Amino acid sequence: MADIKKILSEDVFDIDSDIQIQYTKKDEDPLSKYTTQNTLLALEYDTRDVVEELKKLTVENYYESMVDDRGEEWNLFHVFKVIIQGEDIYVKVRIKRLSKDIVFCISFHFAEFPMIEMPYTTSV
């Protein structure tokens, strides 16, 4: 999480090249509200809004980490839950190691299932 925030907050961060958002996935129903593209449209969000939400993530937003289905040699994906406009949003992100590190957001969509087992959320 700290590395992701560092990339997004650097003076040299370029929103056009240092973040990738996967808007649709193979075999996704294009009309589903659970696609990144449709969620961003419903929230009236663009890439800048996604960057700002990623920069605000804390350990209390953390849900789980998972191995990329392509294998363990890939960086882990980290999953977070944020609440935007009263809706639970599922965020899955990792760092892609290319010629320079970039942030790869594979999911930023309405949570399809309840995300209630938050390991670091404190209750008041």
Nearest of 49, 122, 42 to residue 87 by alpha carbon: 42
Domain extents for the chain?
2-110
Per the confidence metrics, is the pTM higher than 0.75? yes
Tell me which of 8-12, 39-43, 75-79, 86-90 is least confident: 75-79
Q: In angstroms, what CA-CA distances link 37 with 45, 116, 117, 119? A: 10, 24, 26, 28
pLDDT tens string 105-120: 999 999 999 998 888 8
pLDDT tens string 33-77: 999 999 999 999 999 999 999 999 999 999 999 987 765 556 789
Vertex 50: Cα angle to 55 and 82 (nearest 5)? 70
* Reported CATH class of domain 2-110: alpha beta
Residue 83 backbone class (left: φ over 0; alpha: ψ -120 to 50; beta: rest): beta
118: its two tokens: 């938050």
